[in-house]
Amino acid sequence: MWKFWLCFGAVFLSCSGYTWPLPDQLSAAQQRELKELQQDVETEIEELCCQNELKRCCVEKKKSLAQRNMEEWEGLIDSLKELKSTPDEEEAIKWLEEYNEELRQRNVRNAEANWAQATNITDENAAKVVEVTLEVTKWSLKKMEEAKKFDTSGFSDDVKRQFKMITTSGSLSDEDKQRQLAEIGTELEKIYSTGTVCQADGTCLKLDPDLEGIIAKSRDYDRLTWAWLSWRDAVGPPMKDKYAQWVALLNEGAQENGFADKGVLWRGAYEMPDGKLEEMVDAVWEQVKPLYTQLHAYVRRKLSEKYGADKVSTTGHIPAHLFGNMWAQQWNNIYDIVVPFPDQPEIDVSDTMVEQGYDALRMFKTAEEFFKSIGLRPMPQTFWDKSMLTRPDDREVVCHGSAWDFYHLPGDTDVRIKMCTKVNQEDLYVIHHEMGHIEYFLTYEDQKTLYRGGANPGFHEAVGDTIALSVNTPGHLKKIGLLQNVGHNQDFEINELLKMALAKVAFLPFGLMIDKWRWRVFSGDITPDNYNTGWWNLRMKYQGIKPPVERTNKDFDPGAKYHIPSGTPYIRYFFSFIAQFQFHQALCKEAGHDGPLHKCDIYESKAAGTKLKNMLSMGESRPWPEAMKAITGQEKLDPSAILKYFEPLEKWLREQNKDEKLGWD
């Protein structure tokens, strides 16, 4: 509309013969556009006047119109200002400074409310989360409309980036629907976090540590079936209808803001044209799939030997409850079943940790020491004062480990971890992962509030796991006193590489299919009537697994995985499981490591820490390829590092599987 008024004014003023003023009220970009418009109009004005019988305007009334043109031009400018406010960049920067500070303060309140609910699940705390969420949504919508009044076309890249982040939204405009969305989201998480399963004797079990413990340790096929099925039956059906309503509201909000569906909005976090993110991860998957297929065939044969060919075929899908993990996402808990060389010493320091008197606090201090050794920051005192490191006995909590930034200003830092820590090697690994998030928070805390985030969501997940690749090496465990003897023969190394592959390689198709399912749910390709069928079709296709019992569309097995009811996008984990090996390879090179990648430990390397810190400090201020280049020297997600890491294992697996039928279709 404003361009129409400019065109009208251009014709009128050219007809009058007036010299065009360029008012300061217009942005530099609009002034340039106005000049271009003037040139276009003036070359055709005579013809235009004649065609519209305006020659008299151009000849006889030229002098009188010239006397009036300033008044008319000023009126035009006033009209333009009403149609589209266009302050200059200096005013925009001032607006952004105020926005970032208010956003920070709101993030503090939002984090406090969510922390209270996560560490003490009550109806009262849930209601506070809803209220805070609604306040943030209402404020964000208001500020988004204000931001849209700025013409950013002539602004600097940094200012443009901030405005794009502010005006990219999937929020609903209707306040009643906002409340409904927040309430459903809170209820979904509550169903998951408070879910229990009761046995025939009346004792009731929680997911963590009870049911997860059964899945991890039991080798009784029927007992495993019971635990797997009971958890899904407890939490899935109560969620299904609510989840469908939640999806519909999320999509409505996305569509209000110009997106086809919520999945498009989620993928936008990677700043790639829609379709390119899925294209990228599919291409990466095709490169790592041969390694996964070899691992799958080997594990399938071992499970068939353990449970019998009548339960596990050596040519098809593997029952999903036999992997030692409730979701079959990582398989390291069945290492005892699949270990290649049982006579070799096992690197599981869990018992040693117990013998040495480790508790949750000591485990966290051990992780902190690693980050300090490479020059990153120690945890602030508030971390130790306010974190929840173990499960409390007096209240319901969300046990799923997570790291929290409370967005305080530098010098008043407040960062925390929430975790129901158990004394074992796996949780020591998880602690390093979560503390990696904290180090990211601490390193980019000087950035604007909008930029206090990872280069993309996958970067945040990769940082702690990169450190853990060093932590889990036998050499490092020996350095910190948890391991006495370190094997050096090939059999020992194959054992250790297989154990790592059970955690890292086994995860990749799971990390890929979760959001493939959700993207298709959001797009409508998978409807509520087919939620469960769509879920299992993808799990069978990518993971080569199947449910141990018949499942129907009355079930809602996706809801048994935390990230579905919590609404946490998941492709970040696939990205991170590839990127962490890229990061590890780059940091090992910086540390001067000479030898196989799987033996590298960057502990005490300040050079590696500096390289990592430089990337972390960027936060979300630049597109992720630039952050990737800062640490690895390349701008793309590249699976060559993970393939190099597991190269000795893949060669060994190919030999073991030479008589096996690979795949599961």
Span between the terminal Cα atoms of the chain, in Å: 57
81 has pLDDT over 70? no
Report which of residues 45 and 248 the model is more confident about.
248
Q: Is 437 annotated as a binding residue?
A: yes
pLDDT bin (cut points 50, 70, 90) of residue 252 is very high
pLDDT bin (cut points 50, 70, 90) of residue 25 is very low
- Lowest-confidence pick of 49-63, 232-246, 440-454, 576-590: 49-63
Residue 604 burial by Cβ neighbours in a 10 Å radius (0-12, 13-18, 19+): middle
Segment 476-493, tens digit of pLDDT? 999 999 998 776 789 999
User: What's the CA gap between 40 and 49, in Å, rounded?
Assistant: 14
Residue 592 burial by Cβ neighbours in a 10 Å radius (0-12, 13-18, 19+): exposed
pLDDT bin (cut points 50, 70, 90) of residue 52 is very low
Which residues are designated catalytic? 434, 563
Residue 6 burial by Cβ neighbours in a 10 Å radius (0-12, 13-18, 19+): buried
Q: Is 542 annotated as a binding residue?
A: no
For the record, the structure tokens of 223 come out as 């007992």
pLDDT bin (cut points 50, 70, 90) of residue 74 is low
Average pLDDT, the chain: 89
pLDDT bin (cut points 50, 70, 90) of residue 143 is very high
Q: Residue 35: its pLDDT value, please?
A: 55
In three state form, how does the secondary structure of 563-625 look? CCCCCCCCHHHHHHHHHHHHHHHHHHHHCCCCCCHHHCCCCCCHHHHHHHHHHHCCCCCCCHH
78 has pLDDT over 60? no
Type of residue numbered 307: Y
Residues forming beta bridges with residue 468, ordered by sequence position: none
Q: Which long-range contacts (CB under 8 A, 24 or more apart) does 137-143 make?
A: 137/171, 137/172, 137/178, 137/182, 138/175, 138/178, 139/102, 139/106, 140/169, 140/171, 141/169, 141/171, 141/173, 143/99
Segment 566-590, tens digit of pLDDT? 999 999 999 999 999 999 999 999 9
Q: Is 593 annotated as a binding residue?
A: no
Residue 286 burial by Cβ neighbours in a 10 Å radius (0-12, 13-18, 19+): exposed
Q: Is 461 annotated as a binding residue?
A: yes
**pTM, to two decimals:** 0.84
Query: Which position has the token pair 């459903």?
Result: 184
Cα–chain-centroid distance for residue 26? 39
pLDDT bin (cut points 50, 70, 90) of residue 405 is very high
Segment 438-480, tens digit of pLDDT? 999 999 999 999 999 999 999 999 999 999 999 999 999 999 9
Average pLDDT over residues 538-544: 98
Report which of residues 497 and 76 the model is more confident about.
497
User: What's the CA gap between 11 and 3, in Å, rounded?
Assistant: 12
Q: Residue 274: its pLDDT value, please?
A: 80
User: What's the CA gap between 287 and 71, in Å, rounded?
Assistant: 68
Domain limits, the chain: 2-83
Type of residue numbered 352: T
Nearest residue to 597 (alpha-carbon basis) of 665, 554, 522, 649:
649
Q: Residue 447: its pLDDT value, please?
A: 97
Q: Residue 36: its pLDDT value, please?
A: 54
Taking residue 201's Cβ as centre, other Cβ atoms within 10 Å add up to 5
84 has pLDDT over 50? no
Report DSSP state, residue 292: H
Average pLDDT over residues 634-644: 97
User: What burial letters (b/e) apply to 449-458, b meaning 16+ CB within 10 Å?
Assistant: bbbbbbbbbb
Task: Tell me the residue ranges of DSSP E strands in 302-407.
Answer: 318-319, 402-405
User: What's the CA gap between 502 and 331, in Å, rounded?
Assistant: 5
